Amino acid sequence: MESFFNLLAGFEHAITAWNLLYCLIGVTIGMLVGVMPGLGPTAGTAILIPLTFGMEPTSAIIMLSGIFYGAMYGGTITSVLINTPGEAASVITCLDGHQLAKQGRAGAALGVAGIGSFIGGTVAILGLAFIGPPVAQFALRFGPPEFFALMMVGLLMLIGLMGKSLVKGIIAAIIGLLLSLIGMDPVSASIRFTFDKMELLSGLDFVAVAMGLFGISEILLNAENSMKVEKPPKVKGLLPKREEWLPTMKAVGRGTGLGFLLGLIPGANAVIASLMSYSFEKKLSKDPSRFGKGAIEGVAGPETANNAYSGAALIPLFTLGIPSSPTVAVILGAFVLHGLTPGPQLFDKNPEFVWGVIASMFIGNLLLLIMNLPLAGMWAKVALVPYKILFPIILIVSVLGAYSVNNRLWDVGVMFFFGIVGYFMKKLDIPMAATVLTFVLGRLIETSLLQSLAMSDGSFMIFFLRPISAILMVVALTVLAGSIISVVKKKRDVLAADVEM
């Protein structure tokens, strides 16, 4: 009941003129980011963080969160109308969404995607509102050993889930951890890995690194391809047929539950939510052969799942201070830039901020539903903007953004350096998300580890003598063992197949 009254107070804060404006700006930019092929919510959020400097923290996070979940809506439109996914989570929507468009039912595909996205996103935000405070209260029991164990669980799940190769996932994670060590030791303040560069004393700037890895690398990668997209068809008839309502709503319900659960798991992402939802719908269907030929459930389930994931992914951030995806890691960087510390005490120390942001997400989801359906054809035309016009604009915004963080050219150089690094990581299929997440978590892991060892006079047994940390460490070791067994099994299957050939 307390959460309900807090949420009402949050709406009072969220419906102020400025916060409404920033919510509208955020979801509109999110739609644009989602529609434009080659961009995505992570790159869009990273590039636009500098625009929030000078803004109130609540308004800044409202806008950045709007970009995050708005991009999930936008990517659907181009997937359905022109068979070009605006962002990775919408790739699976192309299979049935575009087939429906070819059959003259683009409106129905966009309609169920919009309705499912609204329901999934709203349920996830309700989860944040009503599950978040109890989780935060429970997390107040956590000391350094518990936080270290929790972050190890997230780190090992991340390595296991990101990318196709466990080895590449580990490489990406180690790169992020090494980058986080640059600068001063968080406990003793000793200087390390600065190479006598004064600019590195405080470590690498997160915004410059994120903008380089996601923004600049996307420009370099997409500049290689001169993609041509087809003219979008007209959108009419936004509702499914009468007999399609029941299977559609069942798919929406399953997608909501699946996306919400995956959002709580560090290392999962919206792509996994979409793929798993599509797989479930196909397995549960009485006629699986319909999938890939225009099955309405093949659109409703995945689109609901990726939006439910987006809302649920904010729960670990708000309650534990742990990002569960690359985009949420970027938002965590924005928290820090605005002097906020996400975690168990956020609900107690900054209630106006927390409930204002949560309430704004309800408003943002409603705005997106209104913007997504009647204006779908207009949004699809945005994707026809030539890359030779789009990329210079993104580049200029990125350079200005990186420079404005600390008003120094050093950060611009850092951004371009990591843009090149990100380009090669994508070419080699090394998951950049693992690098960004461990870069963000690295300092927190190190601080928790050193504080824990100080409490135990250097004994690692402290992680197994405290009940909560012991359970989490067992979970972490189980995840690691499962990942190793999975890799070994795959290699055996490949060798067996080669022998048979």
Report the b/e string of 79-115 with b at 16+ CB within 10 A. Answer: bbbbbbbbbbbbbbbbbbbbbbbeeebbbbbbbbbbb
What one-letter code names the amino acid at 385? V
d(CA 215, CA 105): 34
Q: Is the pLDDT of residue 477 over 90?
A: no
Q: Residue 55: what pLDDT?
A: 84
Q: Is the pLDDT of residue 39 over 70?
A: no
DSSP assignment string, 253-269: HHHHHHHHHHHTSTT--
Condensed to tens digits (0 to 9), the pLDDT of residues 225-243 reads 655 555 666 666 667 778 8
Q: Residue 377: what pLDDT?
A: 63
What one-letter code names the amino acid at 315? I
Which residue(s) pair with 191 in the sheet? 184
**What is the mean pLDDT of the segment spanning 111-125?**
85
Would you place residue 417 in the very low, low, confident or very high pLDDT band (cuts 50, 70, 90)? very high
Condensed to tens digits (0 to 9), the pLDDT of residues 64-80 reads 888 887 877 777 777 77
DSSP annotation of 191 reads E
239: which 2 tokens? 């509702």
Instruction: Classify 251 in phi/psi space as left (phi over 0), alpha (psi -120 to 50) or beta.
Output: alpha
60: exposed, middle or buried (Cβ count in 10 Å: 0-12, 13-18, 19+):
buried
DSSP annotation of 181 reads T
Q: Is the pLDDT of residue 122 over 60?
A: yes
| Structure-derived torsion over alpha carbons of residues 368, 249, 256, 311, reported in degrees to the nearest 10 | 10
Domain locations along the chain? 1-145+203-444
Q: Is residue 414 within 8 Å of residue 145, measured between CB atoms?
A: no
> What's the per-residue H, E or C state across 64-128?
HHHHHHHHHHHHHHHHHHHCCCCCHHHCCHHHHHHHHHHCCCHHHHHHHHHHHHHHHHHHHHHHH
Would you place residue 383 in the very low, low, confident or very high pLDDT band (cuts 50, 70, 90)? low
Condensed to tens digits (0 to 9), the pLDDT of residues 202-212 reads 888 777 887 78
Q: Is the pLDDT of residue 318 over 70?
A: yes
Q: Is the pLDDT of residue 493 over 80?
A: no
Condensed to tens digits (0 to 9), the pLDDT of residues 430-463 reads 877 678 777 877 877 888 888 888 888 888 889 8
Nearest to 163 by CA among 353, 420, 433: 433
Condensed to tens digits (0 to 9), the pLDDT of residues 319-373 reads 877 776 777 778 887 887 788 878 777 877 888 888 888 888 888 888 887 777 6
> How much of the chain, in percent, has pLDDT values that exceed 70?
84
| Angle (nearest 5°) at CA 228 between 223 and 231 | 145
| Structure-derived torsion over alpha carbons of residues 186, 191, 197, 201, reported in degrees to the nearest 10 | 20
481: exposed, middle or buried (Cβ count in 10 Å: 0-12, 13-18, 19+):
exposed
434: which 2 tokens? 């693992």
d(CA 394, CA 384): 16
Which residue(s) pair with 184 in the sheet? 191
407: which 2 tokens? 């008003």
Q: Is the pLDDT of residue 8 over 70?
A: yes
Handedness of CA 80, 81, 87, 88 (dihedral sign): positive
What one-letter code names the amino acid at 323? P
Q: Residue 125: what pLDDT?
A: 85
Q: Is the pLDDT of residue 121 over 90?
A: no
**Distance from chain centroid for Cα 209:** 17
133: which 2 tokens? 């405070």
Would you place residue 420 in the very low, low, confident or very high pLDDT band (cuts 50, 70, 90)? very high
Q: Residue 389: what pLDDT?
A: 74
Q: Residue 115: what pLDDT?
A: 85
What one-letter code names the amino acid at 264? L
Q: Is the pLDDT of residue 261 over 90?
A: no
Nearest to 348 by CA among 133, 128, 57, 60: 133
Q: Residue 84: what pLDDT?
A: 63
- Average pLDDT over the chain reads 79
Predicted TM-score (pTM) of the model is: 0.69
483: which 2 tokens? 């990942």
Q: Is the pLDDT of residue 269 over 70?
A: no
Least confident of 313-322, 360-369, 410-419: 313-322
